[in-house]
Structure 1
């Protein structure tokens, strides 16, 4: 199932919805429509979500929001792909606050303190239930699904500060979406970044050094993860720079395509 969070135009209300194919002709971008869910997928329930059968809403009638709650945090891991470091012991964890999260189509705002921002295409894990100190073998029980992410980073601040709070956590530095996909095998998916339509990064999730269950175990040993929290799983070799005006796309096989344009701060 593909799960989205949308704002309905006619009344301004926000809902979680299943993404479905338009039955006849294009219903909007990518020929999709939305069916509102009967419950919030982040209500903490262990019950599986069921495909809704309510009225279909065309894509042109909604605005696509970040697929996780506004309060969600993102936890990232650095240097977690073959070719980026010697081993997972050298892979640091970092936080991106809720204010960094950005929906598909919204602008990445280059911060005033940086002249050098860059993209990192990543698979993101979305947590479905509150968890702490999760053993490796139970990790998948807390996963709701997966989405695309772009760990936008201020490289100059990353070098100068000695730690990554400003570099990784500035507003709009964590585009995710366009939706969450449940029930898929993510062990070997292609990850591609395109800058202005040109492929600039490509790798596969099978190149991860610390796999998803190990990442959940490691992060949850340090902090409680809440429903909607996002784990960024690292980026393959090839991350690069961005300039104002660039459009950066992250596409992950079986998940979707996330696109955002870079703008200057006003």
Structure 2
């Protein structure tokens, strides 16, 4: 299933795409797509309600950039945990050694915005960068997990994430990655939360990103250094993962930091992202770049 949130910022309504492609309102089941919904067996309840014909259809969603808005695929993540240098080709393009263990940092959950919302270049920024990533959405409490199988059971689903970064803030202002990752609008998420059963193997997905129509990133989750299930299990040894938490699992090569001339983002640029796999697409994002 594909879950989404529709409406103006702060007024999104939860919805799900039915087997017929129709958009069904979930307001009778939940106030929003959040940790409480996932912890309360919301996915199974939605599946049952769809099968019983209990969820009303809403008007078909127009495609962006029309006025109808799709919000972030998840409301109010408890935390956004990020993994750095998790693709071999990305580590190579930045001149970094392959990590022996996952590199972990946190991102302000307030950075999460809709997949087609405007991304703002921060004031005084000269090195705002793009990063397409597979986002993992936690659906059950994960604490000291002992196996990858146990980790898989804690995953509600997946979404596209743009882990926007300001490289000067990240690397040249004291080496504190959070500063370069937590600026406002720096984490478009969605358009959908696609359930884990529909995605299938998370290590068989193709990631693509374009800037102003030019292909910049084209990678595969098969090239992750640490796979999705390993990451969930690993993180559960250092922190408790709760329903509604998000894990950004790293980005493949092709970021501005590693490209000749470092073509960082400027106001007026347009970034598009897509993740696809054997079972279909996780959707597509499109962001116009503005100035804070």
Same fold (TM over 0.5): yes
Matched, 1:206 2:222: yes
1:69-115: CA deviation from partner (whole Å, max 9, x where unpaired)? 22432111010012233534254111111111111111111111421
1:245 maps to what in 2? 268
Q: CA deviation at 1:263?
A: 0.4
2:116 aligned residue (105, 110, 130): 105
2:89 aligned residue (83, 94, 104): 83
2:187 maps to what in 1? 174
Q: CA deviation at 1:13?
A: 5.2
The runs of at least 4 aligned residues of structure 1 exceeding 6 Å deviation read none
* Residue pair 1:66, 1:101 contacting (<8 A) in 2 also: yes
1:148 maps to what in 2? 160
Q: Secondary structure at the match of 2:233?
A: helix
Matched, 1:139 2:151: yes
2:287 aligned residue (242, 260, 264): 260
2:134 maps to what in 1? 123
2:29 aligned residue (39, 43, 63): 39
1:73 maps to what in 2? 79
Q: CA deviation at 1:190?
A: 0.8
Higher mean displacement: 180-189 or 45-54: 45-54
1:13-64: CA deviation from partner (whole Å, max 9, x where unpaired)? 543211247x7xxxxxxxx642022434643134724062322112259531
Q: CA deviation at 1:153?
A: 0.5
User: Structure 2 CA distance, aligned partners of 1:113 and 1:135?
Assistant: 45
Which sections of structure 2, spanning at least 5 residues, go unmatched?
92-96, 257-263
1:228 aligned residue (244, 256, 266): 244
User: Structure 1 CA distance, aligned partners of 2:4 and 2:163?
Assistant: 20
Count of residue pairs the alignment pairs up = 254
Q: Secondary structure at the match of 1:125?
A: strand
Q: CA deviation at 1:8?
A: 7.8
2:178 maps to what in 1? 165
2:2 maps to what in 1? 2
User: Structure 1 CA distance, aligned partners of 2:291 and 2:11?
Assistant: 30
Which sections of structure 1, spanning at least 5 residues, go unmatched?
24-31
Give RMSD over aligned pairs: 2.3
Larger strand percent: 1
* Residue pair 2:142, 2:151 contacting (<8 A) in 1 also: no
User: Structure 2 CA distance, aligned partners of 1:229 and 1:258?
Assistant: 21
User: Structure 2 CA distance, aligned partners of 1:130 and 1:56?
Assistant: 32
